[in-house]
């Protein structure tokens, strides 16, 4: 009986002595997993998804909008011109689907990577746009210099040589995009 107790004590002691090594291995494994945590899709990956999997043809008359305009207002306008917009193109692939929920022992996507998903989707949509695009802007609204329209969408449209028009909710006031903030409409020119 004493022999069994000695063996049990030796096993317990060896487990305790090995604990720091197992803890160190676990920490290294967690660090390795953090180093390979999921990344946001690149703009190019999103562009490829738009072309091959969205089921929506993006080209002329893409409609963008900036707060405080609502998606429903932009959707109504897009329908009148045969245009497409973000919510239509990405209806089958919401941003959260590119943000995997980690399984046991996996690392979550970092906040920095999460914060890139919508801008990458928006920029990819702008890069796929051709000829003419629209941005729905509320008259008198201030456009944030850090917003998606200014930082990602408009520069991509400019780079592609896309003609950009601004339109007020309701679609009655239209003009070439001025870039002014607060937003103004000098006339009611038609396209």
Q: What integer is the mean pLDDT of 143-153?
A: 96
Domain that holds residue 14: 1-36
pLDDT (mean) for 63-82:
96
Greater confidence, 131 or 113? 131
Shared domain check, 164 and 84: yes
Is 168 exposed, middle or buried (CB count within 10 Å of its CB: 0-12, 13-18, 19+)? buried
- 187 falls in which pLDDT band (50, 70, 90)? low
pLDDT at 107: 79
What pTM value is reported for the model? 0.75
- Residue 81's SS3 state is helix
Q: Is residue 22 part of a domain?
A: yes
At 119, list the tokens: 């801008």
Alpha-carbon span 6 to 184, nearest angstrom: 87
Is the domain of 80 the same as that of 53? yes
Do 23 and 87 sit in the same domain of this protein? Answer: no
Task: Based on the fold, state whether residues 5 and 53 are members of the same structural domain.
Answer: no
162 and 117 fall within a common domain: yes
């Amino acid at each position: 009986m004493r022999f069994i107790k000695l063996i049990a004590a030796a096993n317990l002691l060896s487990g305790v002595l090995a604990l720091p090594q197992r803890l160190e291995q676990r920490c290294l494994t967690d660090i390795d997993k953090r180093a390979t945590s999921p990344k946001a899709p690149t703009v190019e990956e999103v562009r490829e998804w738009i072309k091959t999997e969205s089921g929506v043809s993006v080209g002329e008359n893409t409609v963008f909008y900036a707060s405080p305009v609502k998606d429903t207002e932009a959707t109504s306008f897009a329908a009148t011109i045969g245009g497409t917009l973000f919510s239509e193109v990405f209806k089958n692939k919401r941003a959260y689907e590119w943000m995997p929920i980690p399984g046991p022992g996996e690392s979550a996507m970092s906040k920095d990577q999460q914060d890139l998903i919508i801008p990458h989707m928006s920029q990819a949509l702008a890069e796929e746009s051709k000829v003419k695009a629209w941005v729905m802007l509320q008259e008198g609204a201030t456009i944030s210099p850090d917003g998606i329209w200014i930082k990602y969408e408009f520069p991509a449209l400019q780079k592609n040589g896309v003609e950009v028009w601004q339109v007020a909710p309701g679609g009655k006031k239209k003009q070439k995009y001025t870039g002014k903030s607060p937003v103004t409409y000098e006339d009611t020119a038609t396209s």
